[in-house]
Amino acid sequence: MDELYNDLYQRMNGFKPIRRDSKQKGETDWYYLDPRDAETVSDMQQIDVASENTANPKIKEILAYDMEENPENYYIWRTCKDDKVRGAHAEREGKIFNKYIPPQGGNPKEDYNCRCWAEPYQSDRVKQSDVAKVDLSGLSQYAKDHE
C-alpha cells in the first residue's frame, strides 16, 4: 500500500514521469509534471529552490491521469446522513478520495465507531467535475510522515 501511495505522491510532486496522451514533433513519450511548471529534467534543474514547495499548477491533469489509470484506488465518501454523523465526516459526503491518501482519521470505517462507507468510484471516462471533487487533504500529512 505504501508503494502505491508513494507512486502517486511522486507523480504529483514532479519526481516521476507521466506518459503523454499525444506528443508533438521532438517530444518524448514521457514528461514530468513539476510543482514549478517544468516539463523536462533540464527545466527542473534551472528552477530556483525558493519556489520548490509551490502548489502544482497541473494537479488536475495529474489527478485525471491517475483516476483514469487507477480507478480502483478511488472511492466516494458516503455517510448515513443522520444526526449521529460526525461533522468532519458529513463534510466528506460525496467527495472523492484516493484510498492511499486518506483524510485525517483515515478512510471510512477506520475511525472509531465510524458508520461511513466507501462507494467504489466507477467511471468509463473521468470528468473535470469528478476531479474537482477529489480531496487531497491527506497529502500534507503524507509529506510530513515521509520527511
Burial class (CB in 10 A: 0-12, 13-18, 19+), 117: middle
What mean pLDDT is predicted for residues 104-116?
93
**What does pLDDT average to over the chain?**
75
Per-residue pLDDT of 14-66, as tens digits, reads 666 666 677 677 666 666 555 455 555 455 445 443 344 444 556 677 778 88
Strand partners, 19: 30
| 70 confidence band (pLDDT: 50, 70, 90) | confident
What mean pLDDT is predicted for residues 4-14?
67
CB neighbours of 102 closer than 8 A, spacing ≥ 6? 110, 138
Q: What is the pLDDT of residue 57?
A: 56
* Rounded Cα–Cα distance for residues 128 and 10 (Å): 22
Question: Cα separations (Å) of 91 from 34, 97, 99, 105, 119?
Answer: 30, 13, 17, 13, 16
pTM of the model: 0.64
The parent domain of residue 21 ranges over: 2-145
* Rounded Cα–Cα distance for residues 61 and 58 (Å): 5
Instruction: Give the residue from 24, 16, 25 showing the smallest Cα distance to 62.
Output: 16
What number of other Cβ atoms are within 10 A of residue 122's Cβ? 10
H helix intervals, 1-147: 2-12, 41-45, 59-69, 87-92, 128-132, 138-145
Q: What is the pLDDT of residue 38?
A: 57
Residue 103 has pLDDT above 50, yes or no: yes
Q: What is the pLDDT of residue 40?
A: 53
Residue 97 has pLDDT above 70, yes or no: yes
The number of folded domains in the chain is 1
- Proportion of the chain above pLDDT 70, given as a percent: 56
